[in-house]
Amino acid sequence: MALEHAILVSLLEQPGSGYELARRFDRSIGRFWTATHQQIYRVLRRMEADGWVAAEEVAQDGRPDKKVYSATAEGRGVLVGWLREPVEPETVRHELAVKIRAAAFDDPAALVPEVERHRTEHAALLARYLSGEQRDFPDPDALDAQQRLQHVVLRGGIEYERMILAWLDDVLATLHRLQAPPPSTPGT
Amino acid sequence: MALEHAILVSLLEQPGSGYELARRFDRSIGRFWTATHQQIYRVLRRMEADGWVAAEEVAQDGRPDKKVYSATAEGRGVLVGWLREPVEPETVRHELAVKIRAAAFDDPAALVPEVERHRTEHAALLARYLSGEQRDFPDPDALDAQQRLQHVVLRGGIEYERMILAWLDDVLATLHRLQAPPPSTPGT
DNA sequence: ATTGCCTATGCAACTCGTTGCATAGCAGGA
DNA sequence: TCCTGCTATGCAACGAGTTGCATAGGCAAT
């Protein structure tokens, strides 16, 4: 379970409210972790009770008050302890891959628009990552340790999206080839 | 929720018991979906109650009896219906990426053995995929539709592992560079 | 002989994660 | 004016997924 740890990292990089964390998890952190605001609020309360984070009420004008959380020294200790334990490689759950194999039991051509839709979304995500890279890491030689580590994670996201795009093209080519198969073998 | 659908695909490709399904989900299906035997048994019972699959008791000698499940026409209909609904792109949850950003708050060099361990495991997985490809798809031009779709999913797994390996090398280089940083800027 | 592993299924308890809804003030557009 | 949407937090209920344990026969190794 790494949601707590992802939150600790995010708060160490920059304190923030539950709402702000939820938005980060949709953006930069979303590159490698996801969570809904419900989960984040619940986990934050537990972490506060455990002393891993501390909250400060902040009044705002024109907006509801918010509780700004920071990681405590104890929270940081928990994170460092976790760092030194091994984690297993992530488990992949790719619904589209299930659909592609399922297409053998229906009309495979019906899947083309769905695959194209995924392609469009992944292309948009890649563009967002690339512009974020331009904005946040314009000079890769002038970064401190924290930024270098953020950057290498972002590069992972970029390469992942590139790989997915190439694969989706492969999938589309495969689907099209099923409709117009190569010259049938003479023996059949 | 796609576990039901992954099970339907697997049973349409080849009927099998819950135990066999669990093993497939650790192997070929494991390329794009995971599940424990607990989940599979529970879901299979529900699917049988809903008429999506049918079970047949099979006695074996030297082994416990097993219940071999097959997808029913109704189950196939459910799968086809799902195929025609859109699914959202998968959410990524990569613990190692969390650790890499967390390393900024500890000694980054301490992460090197962990990253190398992941690299070794991913290299082994890639080797398994490649030998599986050799075994199952030796002649890519002589495949039927179902095999072509299985093959393109496997190619996705292969490209994913290659991309991860390249990224892990990038991560290792980044970690090493943090210890021996480039010549410091004269201005500081 | 005993230990441990493999096949095969399952219960019970728990945690994780999602969904729907509620509150509440402010801002902007039809 | 009303409706929609954004910030900000939260409850309640449900469903998904994990972990630990149990049963039970056969097989192989020590």
List, for residues B52-98, the tens digit of each pLDDT value. 999 998 877 777 788 999 999 999 999 999 999 998 888 788 999 99
Q: Where are the beta strands (DSSP E) in chain B?
A: 53-58, 66-71
d(CA A101, CA A95): 10
Distance CA A62, CA A86 (A): 46
Summarize the confidence of residues A99-125 as an average pLDDT.
Answer: 95
Counting Cβ atoms within 10 Å, is residue A63 exposed (0-12), middle (13-18) or buried (19+)? exposed
Please report which confidence band the pLDDT of residue A1 belongs to, taking 50, 70 and 90 as the band edges.
confident
- Rounded to whole angstroms, the Cα distance separating A40 from A45 reads 9
Q: Is A65 left (phi over 0), alpha (psi -120 to 50) or beta?
A: beta
Longest dimension (CA), chain B: 80
From the list A86, A160, A170, which residue is nearest B114 (CB)? A86
Predicted confidence at residue A185, as pLDDT, reads 59
| C10 C1' to B61 CA distance, Å | 21
Residues of A in contact with B26 (CB under 8 A): none
Alpha carbons A146 and A151: distance in angstroms, whole number? 9
Per CB-CB distance under 8 Å, the chain B contacts of A97 are 31-33, 153, 156
pLDDT of residue A112: 96
Distance A36 CA to D3 C1' (A): 26
The pTM of the full predicted model, rounded to 2 decimals, is 0.91
Average pLDDT, chain B: 91
Distance in Å, alpha carbon of B89 to nearest chain A alpha carbon: 7
Query: Of chain A residues 50-109, which have a beta carbon within 7 Å of strand D?
Result: 60, 63-67, 91, 93
List pLDDT tens digits, range A33-88. Answer: 889 999 999 999 999 999 999 999 888 777 778 899 999 999 999 999 999 999 88
As beta bridge partners, residue A53 has: A71
Which of B105, B114, B171 has the highest number of chain A CBs within 10 A, making it the mutation to test binding with A?
B105
